[in-house]
Amino acid sequence: MHNPDRINRYPDSVNILLSGGAFIQDEFTISKVELRLYTEQTDQKLGVYSLITSFVETDKGSVEMIYDEGFRGIDSLSRASSFLIGNLGISALILRSVISLREKTCN
């Protein structure tokens, strides 16, 4: 996260994509995967500006990264979650998070 202040609060909404399991990716045991919505501003013409992050919790740490952002309209978090679930995007999201965690532990 380039600007952690953007998420320095509780999210406005959370969709849990995976929890309570023991999914293994490489040497990481994944226990939770969430999409989190942070609303940042409202424009009279464009609507709400949404910052959607992915949060992945593992046995070796957790990581929260930007998944999508912009004026995405009503129900942006639900649509993003449905897209991930319907297109096997959760595995790509987990892999990206594991790569990020691995880089943090190597530095």
Interval 9-51: pLDDT, tens: 999 999 999 898 778 888 899 999 999 999 998 888 998 999 9
The pLDDT tens digits of the residues spanning 64-87 come to 999 999 999 889 999 999 999 888
CB neighbourhood size of 9 (10 A): 8
pTM of the model: 0.88
Buried b (16+ CB within 10 A) or exposed e, 56-79: bbbeeeebbeebbeeebeeebbee
Instruction: Output the pLDDT for position 56.
Output: 95
